[in-house]
Structure 1
């Protein structure tokens, strides 16, 4: 009978322990970066909507609503930040996010 070579139970447990430690180190870093990416994405979206609102204001001499921007082709759809917060235009024409 041939002697088969393979990993022992202790070696497999050590490998699983090392993988677990690596996962415990990387998962919090990934979630932290994800929140930063969502914040930057929302800031970029707000800047884009602000530019479109300013363009509408120059063209029509009135402060737009989000629906005005969509209906007149300045926006394809009503914007929502990546984190789920709604983007709104105030009565002074400033664009900001409102959310949970």
Structure 2
């Protein structure tokens, strides 16, 4: 009676190939994740800038980030990459490194 199946060597070779593929893909995924977070923060800065202009047009004053949050113009001042946003005295929104 001859049983069919994989030998230990064949299984080890398959596991080695899978391990190599995982080692190749993980750095690429983390690199792309960082790029995505930075692009998300750029988009958030532009959106908050537009909301600050809308607030300024309605209320006649340049808002602070907290005023925008309190008045429900924005939900948060946190970027996807962990940085916070700030508004300077001229009304320009920028990213504040954490």
Q: Same fold (TM over 0.5)?
A: yes
Give unmatched runs, 5+ long, in structure 1. Answer: none
C-alpha separation in 1, matches of 2:76 and 2:13: 52
The number of aligned residues is: 98
Question: Secondary structure, in 3 states, of the residue corresponding to 1:97?
Answer: strand
In 1, distance between residues paired with 2:72 and 2:33?
31
> Which runs of at least 4 in structure 1 moved beyond 6 Å after TM superposition?
none
Q: Which residue of 2 aligns with 1:5?
A: 4
Whole-Å separation in 2 of the counterparts to 1:20 and 1:73: 48
Match of 2:86 in 1: 88
Superposed CA RMSD: 1.2
Is 1:44 matched up with 2:68? Answer: no
> Which ranges in structure 2 are unaligned for 5 or more consecutive residues?
none
TM-score by length of 1: 0.89
1:61: Cα distance to partner?
Answer: 2.1
Tell whether 2:52 aligns with 1:53. Answer: yes
Using the TM superposition, give the Cα deviation of residue 14 of structure 1 relative to its aligned residue in structure 2, in angstroms: 0.7
